[in-house]
Amino acid sequence: MFNLADRLVKKVSPSRLDPMGLGQAYWKFWQSVMKNPGNLMVQNIQLASDQLRLLRYGVKKAMGQEVEEVITPEKGDRRFKYPAWSEQVVFDVFKQSYLLASSYLMNLASGADLDKKNQHKLEFFTRQTVDALSPANFAISNPEVLKATADSKGENLVKGMQNLIGDLVKGKGQLKISMVDKSKFEVGKNIATTPGKVIYENEMMQLIQYTPTTDKVFRRPLVIYPPWINKFYILDLSPKNSFIRWAVSKGYTVFVVSWVNPNKRLSQKTFEDYMNEGIFKALDAIEAATGEKEVNAIGYCIGGTLLACALSQMAVSGDTRIHSATYFTAQVDFSEAGDLMVFIDENQLDSLDKRMQKKGYLDAGNMATTFNMLRSNDLIWSFVINNYLLGRSPAAFDLLYWNNDSTRMPIAMHSYYLREMYLKNKLVEPGGITLNGIPVDLSEIDIPIFLQSSKEDHIAPYHSVYKATQHYSGPVTFMLAGSGHIAGVINSPEMNKYYYYTNPEVPEDVGDWIKSAKHHEGSWWPYWHQWLYRKSGPKVPARIPGDGALDVIEDAPGRYVKMK
C-alpha cells in the first residue's frame, strides 16, 4: 500500500495538486511562525486583551452606558451598514469580535516576512478567507437576514434557494452569481446610445465614427483603443456619464475601436495581430474617412499597453500619425502590478494554458471571477447576501450589466501577454520583446503623454501606472483620480463626484509626486480637455460619418459589441 502511495505522489506533481501554490505559501508561513514565535505570542496577547475590552464594552452597552467601540469597520466597508449591527448589543459585539479576529489574522500574515511572491499570495488569500467568514455572510448571524426571515416567514430563504439553483443551472454546475437584471438593458437601445456609424471593420474589430454635435471640430481626430478584456461601451453607458458623448460635445471627431469577441477560429490571434489589425488599421481607416494623417489617441487598460507597443514601433519607423497619447489606467511596467500578480506565476500560467487549449480561448467567466476576487466584498459576498440570504432579485445597474458582459481571450495573445509582460516584465526592457520584427523600446516614444490613474484601482494600481513616467522620453503629464479602475475614469462633470490630483513635475517616486500634488474636487475630464485641445489643431467644419472615402457599414454600436 505504501509503495502504491509513493508511486501516486511521484506521478502527481505538487503543481497539479496545488497550481496556485497556496500550500507552499502557507507552509512557509508556519515555518516563519515557528522561527519567530514571539510575534505569534504578541498577537495572541493583543487579541486576548482586545476581546476582554470588547466583553467590558458589551456589558456596559447592555446597561445603557455610553461607551466607545473597541474597533470600527474600515472606511468604505458597507457590510455592517444595517442599523442593528450597531444598535443591538449582540450583533454589535459579534461584529467587533469578527473585526478583531480579522485584524489578528491579517497582522499574522503581514508579519510573516516571506519572499515577495509568497508574502503577497499569503496576504491576499488570507484576506479572501477573512472576508468569506464575515458574520454578514451567514443567515444565522446577519440581523437583516434574520428580520427578513421573520417578516416573510422564511420566504426570503425559499426565494434565495431558487436564485441559487438558477445560478447553478446558468453556470452549468458552477456558481455564476447573478449581479444585475439583464432584462432591463439592451446595447444600442438604452446603453451605448451615442449616435455614430461603423465605417470600417475587419475580423478583429469594427471602427465607429461618432456623429458630431458641434458645427466645427478640431482638425486632429481622437481615436480610442479600449481594452478587449471588456467591451468598449463602458465609455458610453448613458448620456449623463458617457465619455464618448462628452468628448464629441467638446468638438472632437471621435473614433472608437470595438473589438470582436473572439471564438475558437481566432484562437491563434496574437498580440501583434491586435496591434496590426487594431491600432494600425484604425489609423489607415481614419485617414481615409477624414483625410487627416495625424490623430490624438487614447488607450484604456490593456488597450494602453498595446498603444505603447505601437508607439514604440512608430517612433523607430518614423511614423508620426499619432500626435499625442492619453492612457487610462494603463500599465507598461509590471514590477508592482498589484493583486493580479497572485494569479501569475509559471505553475498557474501552465495550468491556465492547459485550460485554454481545450477551447482555444479563455472563457469570459474565468476572467470575470478573477477580477471580482480583487473586490470580493463588493462583487461577490454582497450578492450572496442579497440574492441567496435576503432572496432579492439583482438591481438594474448599467455598470454591473457592462461588468457581466465579458469577453473571451484568444490563447495565443493572452498567454503571451501574461508571460512576457506581467510575469517577466519584458516590455520595459529595451528590446525585451519584439513585435513585427522590431524590438520594442519605450524610451523611443517622445510625443506628449497624459497618464491617468486612479487612487483605489485594484487592477492597475496607481504606483504601477506611475512607473511609465520614467520610461518615455517626451513630455509626460500624470494625473491621479479618485475612486477605482472604472469609476475613476468614468467621472462625468455632470455627476460632480470624487476628486483628482495634479502636479506638473514627475519625480522618480510616486510618493514624492503625491506630496507636492494639488487636490481638486470633481471630474478630471475638463483638466484633460485643457491639455488635449492645445494639441488638436485649429477648428474645421464638422465631419459626418460616411462623407469621406469610407461608406457606412451600419449604425453604432455595431454588431461586434453585441457578440456573446
pLDDT band at 496 (very low <50, low <70, confident <90, very high): confident
In the DSSP assignment, the letter for residue 277 is: I
Determine the pLDDT at residue 367.
82
> Is 472 strand, coil or helix?
coil
Strand pairing class (216-218; 539-541): antiparallel
Pick the residue with more confidence: 12 or 127? 127
pLDDT in the model for residue 15: 54
* Amino acid 492: pLDDT: 95
Structural domains in the chain? 2-137 (no CATH), 156-185+344-391 (no CATH), 196-336+407-562 (3.40.50.1820)
Give the pLDDT score at 6: 46
Residue 176 DSSP label = -
Average pLDDT of the residues in 135-163: 97
508571460: which residue's cell?
419
State how far the Cα of 541 lies from the Cα of 532, in Å rounded to an integer. 19
By the 10 Å C-beta count (0-12 exposed, 13-18 middle, 19+ buried), 38 is classed as: exposed
User: Model confidence over 433-443: pLDDT tens digits?
Assistant: 999 999 999 99
pLDDT at position 17:
63
Distance CA 311, CA 440 (A): 9
Residue 80 amino acid letter: F
Mean pLDDT of the chain: 94
146 Cβ neighbours under 8 A, 6+ residues apart: 139, 140
How far is residue 412's CA from residue 417's CA, in Å, rounded to a whole number? 9
Q: What is the pLDDT of residue 398?
A: 93
User: What local confidence, expressed as pLDDT, does residue 4 receive?
Assistant: 45
Average pLDDT for residues 11-22, to the nearest whole number?
Answer: 64
Residue type at position 485: H
CA distances from 118 to 25, 113, 251, 422 (A): 5, 9, 50, 16
Mean pLDDT is lowest, of 29-38, 375-384, 514-523, for 29-38
The C-alpha cell at 425 is 516584465
Is the pTM higher than 0.85? yes
Q: What is the mean pLDDT of residues 493-522?
A: 95
pLDDT band at residue 452 using 50, 70 and 90 as cut-offs? very high
Mean pLDDT over 376-400 rounds to 95
Residue 326 has what pLDDT?
98
Q: For 75-115, how does the pLDDT look when each residue is reduced to its tens digit (9 = 90+)?
A: 889 999 999 999 999 999 999 999 999 999 999 999 888 99
pLDDT for the residue 525: 98
Q: Which listed residue (248, 279, 285, 301) is catalytic?
A: 301
pLDDT of residue 39: 85
**Tens digit of pLDDT for each residue in 200-238?**
999 999 999 999 999 999 999 999 999 999 999 999 999
What band does 16 get if pLDDT is binned at 50, 70 and 90? low
Confirm whether 309 is a catalytic residue. Answer: no
Q: What is the pLDDT of residue 38?
A: 85
Q: Using alpha carbons, select from 476, 478, 471 the residue that is nearest to residue 335.
A: 471
The residue whose grid cell reads 482586545 is: 50
CA angle 250, 252, 253 (to 5 degrees): 145
Per-residue pLDDT tens over the stretch 525-538: 999 999 999 999 99
pLDDT at 12 over 50: no
The reported pLDDT for the residue numbered 23 is 86
For residue 171, pLDDT beyond 90: no
For residues 211 and 368, which has the higher predicted lDDT (pLDDT)?
211
DSSP per-residue string spanning 395-443:
P--HHHHHHHS---EEHHHHHHIIIIIIIT-GGGSTTSSEETTEE--GG
pLDDT at 73 exceeding the cut of 60: yes
> Distance from CA of residue 324 to its chain's centroid?
25
Rounded average pLDDT over 414-431: 96
Q: Which residue has the higher pLDDT, 184 or 24?
A: 184
Kindly indicate the confidence band of residue 9, based on its pLDDT and cuts at 50, 70 and 90: very low
Average pLDDT over residues 457-469: 96
Rounded distance between C-alpha atoms, residue 401 and residue 182, angstroms: 6
| pLDDT for the residue 33 | 84
Cα 442 to Cα 468: distance, rounded to the nearest angstrom: 9
Average pLDDT over residues 359-377: 88
